A = this chain, B = another copy of it.
Amino acid sequence: MHYELYYWPDIQGRGEFVRLALEEAGADYIDVGRLPGRGKGIAAMMRFLENDKTGRPLFAPPFLKSGDLVIAQTANILLYLGPRLGLVPKAEASRLWVHQLQLTIADFVGEIHDVHHPIAGSLFYHEQKREARRRAGHFTAERIPKFLDYFERVLAGNPKGSRYMHGRIFSYVDLSIFQIIAGLRYAFPKTMKKLEPKYPRLVTLHDKVAARPNIAAYLASKRRIPFNNNDVFRHYPELDT
């Protein structure tokens, strides 16, 4: 199957969770927003977003075209791709469990974004910096530990051993955990340096994912967009307290 991913070309953002799955599986895909030429680039993505002819309007990127289907919402795209890419077992209980974890990651990603945008997405960071500092204090002290405690607990309580989030089975949510740890390290290096000793299983999982051949090749390639401060994960030292 040939897949077309539509997402912003200059950020990892939410699209990165999909890119990692496609890369790990060696899938046949194009990242439309990043390609030059006719029918490609941001213009192609915007045309899709504004075109209601399918009767299924899109709210926001990322979205994935797969044959006649156009699927939006990051976790929904992974729900669809998972069994097709061999990144989740086909059994319903497995698919629901991995999706449940992915939705909790989605909630975390929303909170990570709102640390630098607690008032409005339509304002610049510097216009809500005071509120961001206040939110960041709570975020680094309460929310990062709350989510990482939970994910570490999933690995620790795993009846099949602590290798992956879903027991012995490698799945797309392991890729997303890698991305969360990598992103938090970029955005909150001081906080993470202090916290990481409490999360040995998550750190090990991050390292194992990074060493997978397809992921290692992807991370070393130009296809991996560097972290930057227009993205979900942003490094503002004043928020890393």
Contact = CB atoms under 8 A, between A and B. Distances in A.
A100 B54 CA distance: 15
A118 B130 CA distance: 12
B99 A122 contact: no
Contact of A56 (B57, B97, B110): B97
A103 B118 contact: no
- For A59, A103, A131, A167, the residue with the greatest tally of chain B CB atoms inside 10 Å of its CB is A59
B150 A135 contact: no
A25 interface: no
Chain A interface, >50% SS class: helix
Nearest to A138: B120
A57 B119 contact: no
Contacts of A76: 96, 99-100, 103
B57 A150 contact: yes
Interface of A: 52, 55-57, 59, 69, 71-73, 75-76, 79-80, 92-93, 96-97, 99-100, 103-104, 106-107, 110, 114, 118-120, 122-123, 131, 134-135, 138-139, 142, 150, 153-154, 157-160, 167
18 contacts: A52-B153, A57-B153, A57-B157, A59-B104, A71-B100, A72-B100, A76-B99, A80-B92, A103-B106, A107-B110, A118-B118, A118-B131, A118-B135, A119-B135, A120-B138, A120-B139, A122-B138, A123-B138
